[in-house]
Amino acid sequence: MNILFHLFFWSKLQSDEIVRLNGIYKRLLSNAGVKLYEGEGKVAGPNEVELTQLDGTKLKYSAKHILIATGSKAQRPNIPGQVSFLFFSH
């Protein structure tokens, strides 16, 4: 096998694992009675958020407690001489 196949295979495994873990987290939240909204949000006022859902619909919510899970994306600084691999560039 060539190196590109190995890198593609590793990248696919990594992606599949992220999807699997996200599914587990969503099920745990749902089973705990948490209402999950996906999209882009911003604080609209005290105890209020505005959500733009994935389909573009805008909604406003207010509550005593609001949890905003922002997620994350790894970043690597540009270091002279570094070697880049597909599965590390996620």
**Are 60 and 44 in contact, with CB atoms under 8 Å apart?**
yes
Question: Can you tell me the distance from the alpha carbon of 7 to that of 87, in angstroms, rounded to the nearest whole number?
Answer: 7
Question: Can you tell me the distance from the alpha carbon of 30 to that of 56, in angstroms, rounded to the nearest whole number?
Answer: 23
Looking at per-residue confidence, does 67 or 19 come out higher?
19
Q: What per-residue confidence (pLDDT) applies to 4?
A: 61
pLDDT at 27 over 50: yes
Average pLDDT over residues 53-63: 92
End-to-end CA distance of the chain: 23
Average pLDDT over residues 30-58: 90
0.75 exceeded by pTM: no
pLDDT at 50 over 90: yes
Looking at per-residue confidence, does 67 or 18 come out higher?
18
